[in-house]
Structure 1
C-alpha cells in the first residue's frame, strides 16, 4: 500500500511525451474512452497535501474522489484522517463499508437516511450531520426510528462582505455568520434531546477554490490576491471568535476548514484543527492557477481518434464532459496529451464527437488516443464506471467508481 515515503521516491515529474507514451502503452489493450489514475502522481499529490498541512490532519473530500478504492488508499497514508461526504446516502454507505469518521458537509432532507441513522447507534457514532437551521432538526426527529444520538456539525458563513455588506465575495452556504449566531444555535441544539454539537465547519471557497495566478491576466490575478489576503485576515479573526464562543457551550472535537487551494493559510489558524482536501489528489485543470503549490495531473481520460477531417484537425469520440458551476470555457475539459491541441471555437467539447485543432493533430492516426483533464476532480467519475490504475506503463488494477458500484448519490 502507498506510503508518503514511496510517494517521495516517485515524485520526479516525467515529461509530457513520457507520460503519453506510458498511458498509451498501459491502455493499449483497452477500447476507449477510458479513464485512468496515475498512482505515482496521485501519491505524490497526497504527500504534498500532507506537507502543506504542516502536521494537522487532512480530511478527504469524497466528492472529489468518488472511488472507494482510492479513498481507502489515501486513508491508509499518514496525515489523512476521516472523510468529508456530500450526501447522507453516501455517508451511510461509506460508514457501513468501514469508514468510521464521516463528516457530511451539506444539509440533508433524506428521511429514509435519517431513519437508518437514528435507528443504528454504530452508524450514528460514525456519521456527523451538518445542520444550520432548526427546521433540519425537525426533519431528523420526524423520521427518527431510535434513540441514537445524532452528532451535529455547525457551519460558519465564510464570505467576505465589503462596503457594509453591499458586496459579497464567497459561496452562499450557511445563514450563520457571527460568533453569536453560532453560539445561540449551538445552545438550542444542545438543549434538544438526541443531538450533540461536536464540530464546526467553515469552507472558504473564495480562497480555496479560486486560483490567484491566471495566465495572461496579471491585473485580475493581482485583484484576486488582494481580495484573498483581506478575506483570510477577516475570516481568521471571526473563525477564532466563533470557536471561543462555541467552546462555552460544548467541547468541540474538530474545527474543519479550507480546501486544496488554501491548505497553508487554513492550517496556520490556531483555531483550525483539520483541513479538508480532495481535488488536489487528482489535480484537475481548475487547480493549475495557484502560486502556492504545484501538483501533478493524476486523473485523465482518453478519447480515441475516429476521424481526420483535414490538415491540422482530428475528431475524437465524445469528450463533452462539462463541470458544474457557472457556465464558461473554464468548465470544459482540456486536451492534455499530446500537447498543442485546442478546441474548434465553433464546436467546443461535443456530446458525441469533438474536433481538435493544432499541428499535433497531423501526427495522430485513427485509433490513437488523446488524453484530457477534466475541469473538476470527482465529476469525471460520473462519466466512467471504472478507473484503470497505472504504475509505470502498466495497468495494475481496475477499480469501480461510485457509478460503477451503482451508486449515483447526486
Structure 2
C-alpha cells in the first residue's frame, strides 16, 4: 500500500528493519565504534543518518574520489579501504587542510607509498596498512587475495619505507577477516575454519600492532565486518570495527549464527505482462551481484512468496518471467518485491531509495547515482 502510485522499478528501505539493524549491529560491536562501510550503502543521506547514531563513527570508503566528496559534504574520519592510483584526487586531498587531516589511504606495496608521496603537496597524505588476514594452511590460502602484508616483518618493512618519505605518514592499520566476516555459517566445517582462523589472527594481529607501534603512533586500528563484530570487539587494540552490509541484510547474510539482523532493502518492479494464468512478467530484475557467478549472486523474490524464475531465462535485463501459485491472483501493474544478493550494489541501479514506515513513504533519498556520482 505504501507504494500505491509510485513509479517502479524503484529501491525501498524498510525503515523499521533498518533501524532494528542499527541497534543489532551496535549491540554486536559491544561499545566499539562502527565505521560505516559506504560501499554497502551508497546513499549519502543514509550514511549521514548512521553517523548521527550512537556507536557509529567514521566511514570506510571504497574510492578516493568518493572519500573527498563525502568530506566536502561534512563527513569526517574517512578511511579508503582499497589502494588508489588516482593521483589527481590525491593531490586535491593534500592541498586541502580538512581533507588531508580526515582521509587516510590504504597501502600494502612500496608502489602505493610512492604514488602517495609523489602526489603530496601542501600536506603529507595519511596512509593505513592493509594487513592480509587470510589463514594459510600449507600452500592453501583461505580468505581474500588482497594484501601483500601478512606478517609483522612485512608491516615493519612498509613502515620503515614510509618513514623515509616526506609526503606520507602511516596513520593506521586495517585487518579485514574476509573468511570470517564474509562467509555465512552454513556448515560445521565452516564454523571450525572460522574458529581456527580467529585464533591465528588474534595472535598475528597482536604481533603486527606491537611491531608497527615501535616505529609510529597510530591514529586507528580497524578490523572486522558485519559477520565478525561480535568476535572482534574484545581486543583492546582495535579502535573501530567496519560494517555496512548488515544494515541492509541482503541475501548473502541470511545464514549467519548469533544474529537477529532483518532484511531491510528491496527493489520493486511492476508486472507488465501475464502470458498465462500462472506466469507473470516483471519489468527488469536482472541485478546480479559481484563475486563468483552462480545461484547465490542472483536476486530472489521476497513477495509474493512462491514466485520463481524460469531456469532458461532467469532474472532478465528488461523482463523477468516468474511462475508459481501466487501468479494466479496477480494482474498487470502489481508489484513484485525482490531482494538483492549484496547490499550497496543495488543502489547503483536506482536514482533514489524510498524509506517506508507504517505503510507510508516517509522520505526519498538520492543514491550516489541520483547525485550524479559513479565511483566505480
User: Which position in structure 2 is the counterpart of 1:289?
Assistant: 255
Does residue 76 of structure 2 align to residue 100 of structure 1?
A: yes
- In the TM superposition, residue 294 of structure 1 has moved relative to its aligned partner by 2.6
- Residue 71 (structure 1) aligned to one of 26, 34, 47: 47
Instruction: State how far apart, in whole Å, the 2-side matches of 1:393 and 1:70 are.
Output: 20
Counterpart mapping for 1:169-208 below 5 A: 169-208=142-181
User: Which position in structure 1 is the counterpart of 2:374?
Assistant: 408
- In the TM superposition, residue 268 of structure 1 has moved relative to its aligned partner by 2.7
Contact 2:289 2:340 in 1 (8 A): yes
Q: TM-score, normalised by structure 1?
A: 0.90
Does residue 117 of structure 2 align to residue 147 of structure 1?
A: no
User: Which position in structure 1 is the counterpart of 2:208?
Assistant: 242
Does residue 11 of structure 2 align to residue 40 of structure 1?
A: no
Instruction: State how far apart, in whole Å, the 2-side matches of 1:313 and 1:271 are.
Output: 56
Q: Structure 1, residues 383-402: CA drift from partner, whole Å, max 9, x if none? A: 00011111211111111000
- Residue 221 (structure 2) aligned to one of 223, 230, 255: 255
**Mean Cα displacement is larger for which, 338-347 or 44-53?**
338-347
Q: TM-score, normalised by structure 2?
A: 0.98
Contact 2:61 2:80 in 1 (8 A): yes
Counterpart mapping for 1:331-346 below 5 A: 331-346=297-312
User: Which position in structure 1 is the counterpart of 2:37?
Assistant: 61
Instruction: State how far apart, in whole Å, the 2-side matches of 1:64 and 1:241 are.
Output: 30
**Mean Cα displacement is larger for which, 375-384 or 189-198?**
189-198
- In the TM superposition, residue 167 of structure 1 has moved relative to its aligned partner by 0.8
Instruction: State how far apart, in whole Å, the 2-side matches of 1:177 and 1:136 are.
Output: 16
Counterpart mapping for 1:3-42 below 5 A: 25-42=1-18
Instruction: State how far apart, in whole Å, the 2-side matches of 1:237 and 1:270 are.
Output: 13
Instruction: State how far apart, in whole Å, the 2-side matches of 1:355 and 1:391 are.
Output: 29
Determine helix, strand or coil for the equivalent of 2:132: coil
Determine helix, strand or coil for the equivalent of 2:4: coil
- Residue 89 (structure 2) aligned to one of 96, 101, 113: 113
**Mean Cα displacement is larger for which, 54-63 or 257-266?**
257-266
Q: Structure 1, residues 355-377: CA drift from partner, whole Å, max 9, x if none? A: 11211111211110010010000
Does residue 273 of structure 2 align to residue 279 of structure 1?
A: no
Determine helix, strand or coil for the equivalent of 2:320: strand
Contact 1:45 1:280 in 2 (8 A): yes
Instruction: State how far apart, in whole Å, the 1-side matches of 2:38 and 2:19 are.
Output: 16
- In the TM superposition, residue 152 of structure 1 has moved relative to its aligned partner by 1.0
Does residue 298 of structure 2 align to residue 298 of structure 1?
A: no
Determine helix, strand or coil for the equivalent of 2:268: strand
Instruction: State how far apart, in whole Å, the 1-side matches of 2:48 and 2:358 are.
Output: 21
Instruction: State how far apart, in whole Å, the 1-side matches of 2:119 and 2:240 are.
Output: 31
Determine helix, strand or coil for the equivalent of 2:373: coil
Q: Structure 1, residues 228-253: CA drift from partner, whole Å, max 9, x if none? A: 11111111110111111111111222
- In the TM superposition, residue 36 of structure 1 has moved relative to its aligned partner by 0.9
Determine helix, strand or coil for the equivalent of 1:228: helix
Instruction: State how far apart, in whole Å, the 2-side matches of 1:304 and 1:311 are.
Output: 16
What is the RMSD computed on CA atoms of the aligned residues? 1.1
Does residue 100 of structure 2 align to residue 135 of structure 1?
A: no
Determine helix, strand or coil for the equivalent of 2:196: helix
Contact 2:310 2:322 in 1 (8 A): yes
Contact 1:334 1:372 in 2 (8 A): yes
- In the TM superposition, residue 207 of structure 1 has moved relative to its aligned partner by 0.8
- Residue 212 (structure 1) aligned to one of 170, 182, 185: 185
Contact 1:121 1:149 in 2 (8 A): no
Contact 1:239 1:271 in 2 (8 A): no
- In the TM superposition, residue 140 of structure 1 has moved relative to its aligned partner by 2.5
Any stretches of 5+ residues in structure 1 without a counterpart? 1-24, 214-220
Instruction: State how far apart, in whole Å, the 1-side matches of 2:152 and 2:163 are.
Output: 16
Instruction: State how far apart, in whole Å, the 2-side matches of 1:156 and 1:333 are.
Output: 32
Any stretches of 5+ residues in structure 2 without a counterpart? none
Instruction: State how far apart, in whole Å, the 1-side matches of 2:262 and 2:156 are.
Output: 41
